[in-house]
Amino acid sequence: MNPINRSLGAFLLLLAAAGPALAATCEELRASIEARIRANGVANFSVQAVELAASAPGKQVGTCDLGRKKIMYVREAPGAAASAASPSAGPARAPVITECADGRVVRDGTCKK
């Protein structure tokens, strides 16, 4: 066996052995991306893997399944997750009433002019 064939065979064997370790599943990759986003202080978001050709809201932040799926990130409004989880989460917030030094009374505001 000549040295080139031997080197090529060794490379292919190494690639075959490393392939599964290099190809993370979509779920593993999605979880990794979620962890990095949470580490940056973002609380209300979603990350999901969808088919590459599918139309999906948000920003594409990666691919998985050998390029057949894309990973989409959507940042949600601060109250969206809580209100979507339980529409009747509680009573509406009462307005804050403030009496200013000049005698004015304001609702949900400040006394500055």
**pLDDT score for 4:** 62
Q: Is residue 77 part of a domain?
A: yes
Distance CA 94, CA 107 (A): 10
pLDDT bin (cut points 50, 70, 90) of residue 85 is very low
Percent of the chain with pLDDT over 90: 14
The pLDDT value recorded for residue 106 is 72
In a domain, 82, yes or no: yes
- Alpha carbon 63 to its chain centroid, in Å, reads 13
39 within domain boundaries: yes
Asked if residue 108 belongs to a domain, the reply is no
If one counts the domains in the chain, the total is: 1
Specify the pTM.
0.49
Kindly state whether residue 110 falls inside one of the protein's structural domains: no
The two structure tokens encoding residue 41: 């202080």
**How far apart are alpha carbons 102 and 113 in whole angstroms?**
11
Its domain, for residue 78, covers: 24-87
Phi and psi angles of residue 51, each rounded to the nearest 5 degrees, phi first: -60, 145
- Asked whether residue 66 is domain-assigned, the answer is yes
CB 71 within 8 A of CB 48: yes
